[in-house]
Structure 1
Amino acid sequence: MDLRQLRYFTQVVESGSFSKAANTLHVAQPALSQHVRHMEEELGVALLYRNAQGVTATEAGGRLLRHAKQILAEFAEIPDSVRGEAVAPRGDVRFGMPGTVSELLAAPLIEAVRERYPQVRIRVVEAMSGYILGWLRRGDVDLAMLYSTSDPSGLAVHHGLSEEIFLFAAANTSDGPAGDAASVVQAASMPLVIPGPGHGLRELVEEAALTAGVPLTPAIEIDSYSQIKKVVMRGLGFGILPLMAINREVEEGVFRKWRLQEPSITRKVYLAYSTERPLLNAPRAVGQLAWEILRQLVKDRAWIAELSDESQRPDLFR
């Protein structure tokens, strides 16, 4: 198997037919079919479903397609990668972010990339941190912002910031804790509106409840931060969210907040990328830029958090 065969196979799958792929590649259709048959014989599996409507990849073909795209992209990137910062980055960059990170980081990052690296096209994809971690390991995204790195094997992770998690309620709530702080034991006894099992924030709250020795029985489970805030705003319960998610409403007098203690709850944000695949020039540039913007958001108080120390700073062009 060689690069030419991988390129031919990729084009056949993306075109959906041998004839269209042959026209695109300027290769005779019989020769194209023969190359794919040789690949199937070499691998010992069928790579394509063939029918009157054209061709589609089998399950094995889909796996090969993912590898082929990555290999071809890396091969095309070799000249720029070798030259490093001496050449302007170009190409596509897929960046996975949790929704709460994307809300603050995506727009300024896209704007900065467009201004500084006009030949780079960035695609931001949102999901919960656990899903993004899976995408990163499979190579579906080049870079990620993650909340959890309990299993960092095969990844480079750089701790960017830590944010404190608060209890909050509608401003007219009369049965909240006295003062400006609440223990986890107190919070667990209230009608909580928090994300469901499997959500990164839920895991942090469950860990704190376990440490405090109290059961966690939420009144309402919603994974969307915006919906949690709407439910809490209606007086239907107490929410637990990072300060950056509720700070504007607190300042406007819509919510009351309490610092959680015994134990306190903090969440870390990491920039991550795979160490098992070469990081191409464009993702390197975007990753470094994302780190700088993340830090600036905290310095500008757009993100209420504590920055990690400078030892965590990535140097993606060394």
Structure 2
Amino acid sequence: MDYRDWEILKVLYNQKNLTKTARLLFLTQPALTSRLKHMQEELGVKIVTRESRGVHFTPQGEYLVHCAEEALAHFQKVKENVQNMSNNEKNEVAGTLKLGVSNYFANNELPYLLKLFKNQYPHVEFKVITGWSRDVTQLIHNKDVHIGFVRGDYGWRGLSIHQLFEETICIASTKKIDITDLPRLPRIDYRGDYLLKSIIDHWWAENYAEAPFISIEVDQVDTCREMVINGLGYGILSSRVLDGIEDIYKIPLTDQEGNPLLRRTWMYYHKESMEWNVVKAFVHFIENLDWKNH
């Protein structure tokens, strides 16, 4: 079994189709079939069976796919370490930077940041994984990425952190509203990450005895914002989401002591990752940005 064999197993498991797998790996289908036959003969087990609906993996095949993922990940790590050693000797910033990024940050902040960084360090490439902040936190804890950008105060045990900016959480509407009328007004709700939802739900429970009137539910904060802008109801949003939008009335949420409810955005990374020139350069780049004017 070599690197190419592990790659074949992983791609075939994802595709469940010989023709698609061969095309993705730039192989002919006969060459792919021959390679699979050789693997099965070498190991003395049946790895896959062909059925009318595609390829089915045997239990032994499923186990080998798991081994393939580990082998490919290990090879990638070895490759990155060797490249980093070479870059350190040359004092060069190059290589692939792996980032885990919350959905909103990926859509609204990250592209411009990567453009600026790429202008300074043209030999750096990026691998970006997006998701909810809780998922990004798990990625960085598992060291699946070098750096994570997370919205909200999640746990950071064992991680180095840097706060990028903080936002107020506010009620947003195209019309002036009396906050005491909120339970009877139509609200545009969106499926945000659970930490933000828990803050808003806690605030609501402290101030109202009845449930909110949810008139529209959407998946993304950007959709919620557009619904609010078009006068379809009010939304409870982080203030940065509303930057640059005119004719929107905003009422910041406060706790029982009158302090504003805040949502912070953080950069997480492992201290040992700073041994990599590319990670160190990116961390210093982010730390020196003027987020107020960004």
TM-score by length of 2: 0.70
1:239-250 paired onto structure 2 within 5 Å:
239-249=235-245
- Indicate yes or no: 2:51 matched with 1:63: no
1:134-283 paired onto structure 2 within 5 Å:
134-137=138-141, 141-153=145-157, 155-170=159-174, 173-174=175-176, 176-177=177-178, 187=182, 190-196=185-191, 198-212=193-207, 214=209, 216-219=211-214, 220-249=216-245, 252=246, 254-263=247-256, 264-273=260-269, 281=276
The unaligned stretches of length 5 or more in structure 2 are 13-20
What's the CA shift string for 1:177-236, capped at 9, x where partnerless?
A: 3xxxx6xx7655643323237544322211323455755535133232222122222322
Q: Distance in 2 between matches of 1:19 and 1:32?
A: 18
SS at match of 1:262: coil
SS at match of 1:261: coil
Q: Distance in 2 between matches of 1:229 and 1:235?
A: 10
- Aligned residue pair count: 271
Q: Equivalent residue for 2:48?
A: 49
Q: Distance in 1 between matches of 2:283 and 2:185?
A: 42
Indicate the larger mover: 195-204 or 231-240.
Answer: 195-204
Q: Quick one: structure 1 residues 150 and 114, their matched pair in 2 at CA, closer, same or farther if it must change by over 3 Å?
A: closer
8 Å CA contact 1:195, 1:202 repeated in 2: no
- Indicate yes or no: 2:104 matched with 1:100: yes
What's the CA shift string for 1:219-266, capped at 9, x where partnerless?
A: 1332322221222223222111111111211xx3x3111122235321
CA shift, 1:169, in A, is: 0.3
CA shift, 1:268, in A, is: 1.5
SS at match of 1:94: strand
CA shift, 1:124, in A, is: 3.3
Q: Distance in 2 between matches of 1:244 and 1:257?
A: 12
Q: Distance in 2 between matches of 1:153 and 1:62?
A: 32
CA shift, 1:19, in A, is: 12
Indicate the larger mover: 114-123 or 77-86.
Answer: 77-86
SS at match of 2:225: helix
Q: Quick one: structure 1 residues 163 and 197, their matched pair in 2 at CA, closer, same or farther if it must change by over 3 Å?
A: closer
Q: Give the letter aligned to residue 129 of structure 1.
A: S
Q: Equivalent residue for 2:126?
A: 122
Identity, % of aligned pairs?
15
SS at match of 1:152: coil
